[in-house]
Amino acid sequence: GDSVTQMEGPVTLSEEAFLTINCTYTATGYPSLFWYVQYPGEGLQLLLKATKADDKGSNKGFEATYRKETTSFHLEKGSVQVSDSAVYFCALSEGSSASKIIFGSGTRLSIRP
Amino acid sequence: NAGVMQNPRHLVRRRGQEARLRCSPMKGHSHVYWYRQLPEEGLKFMVYLQKENIIDESGMPKERFSAEFPKEGPSILRIQQVVRGDSAAYFCASSPTAGPFEQYFGPGTRLTVT
């Protein structure tokens, strides 16, 4: 079945460092891809999305490009802040009308001042 | 516009008791989804409901778990005869239409079974 694999955490970086969180997926069709963020004690928030190959999703300085040839959707940010400390989830859903989101196991990110 | 509301935020039950988790979707949303997050894991889909209908329950355990979304009132996730393995965070999401793009998540209910 469909699945998402993302790099294990925790990831600890200094403020202003460059961030990459790797994510690869397995899907039989043409999924939509997402990054969600979960701040401590809160629910998930959609960070960015991409619905077809070569699409780039971006939000709050974060970017991810849908790479069909490598089945990847890596999350990047050029300069992280302490406020970016959270758990990040890569996810997919098959088709625009699908109801189910399949999540990766999450990557905990901690940013040192 | 208030977001997705879940209550209680924390719930402690002894083994064998029943747990009832409530989810009030965002105003105007008629689609509700339940997910379970075990410690240090990602969220796993459980069930998708529209008003008075279960659309997809492929992620629901076959026994002890049930869900409803009545015409009036919140969606309820019910776990009968809880066991320690049911301890998890349960998240509800809602959307105005079917599909993943506009699923808005609630803060979750953290269930602890002692």
Query: How many CB atoms within 10 Å of residue B40?
Result: 11
Please give the pLDDT value at position A96: 53
Lowest-confidence segment of A36-45, A69-78, B80-89 by average pLDDT: A36-45
Q: What is the rounded distance in angstroms from the CA atom of residue A36 to the CA atom of residue A88?
A: 6
Query: In this complex, do B98 and A99 lie within 8 Å of one another by their Cβ atoms?
Result: yes
Q: Read off the pLDDT of residues B25-49 as tens digits, 9 standing for 90 and up.
A: 999 899 999 999 988 778 999 999 9
* End-to-end C-alpha distance for chain A, whole angstroms: 41
Among the partner residues B98, B103, B106, nearest to A101 by beta-carbon distance: B103
* Partners of residue A89 on adjacent β-strands: A36
How sure is the predictor about B76, in pLDDT bands with cuts at 50, 70 and 90?
A: very high
Please give the pLDDT value at position A26: 94
Query: In this complex, do A93 and B100 lie within 8 Å of one another by their Cβ atoms?
Result: yes
- A91's CB contacts (< 8 A; 6+ apart) are A4, A33, A34, A35, A36, A101, A102, A103, A104, B42
Among the partner residues B100, B106, B107, nearest to A98 by beta-carbon distance: B100
- Contacts with A42 from chain B: Cβ below 8 Å: 107
E strands in chain B: 5-7, 10-13, 19-24, 31-37, 43-50, 53-56, 65-68, 75-79, 88-95, 104-105, 109-113
How sure is the predictor about B53, in pLDDT bands with cuts at 50, 70 and 90?
A: very high
Q: What is the dihedral of CA B86, A7, A3, B23, to 10 degrees?
A: 40
Q: Is B59 on the interface with A (CB under 8 A)?
A: yes
Q: Read off the pLDDT of residues A53-63 as tens digits, 9 standing for 90 and up.
A: 999 999 999 99
Please give the pLDDT value at position B100: 63
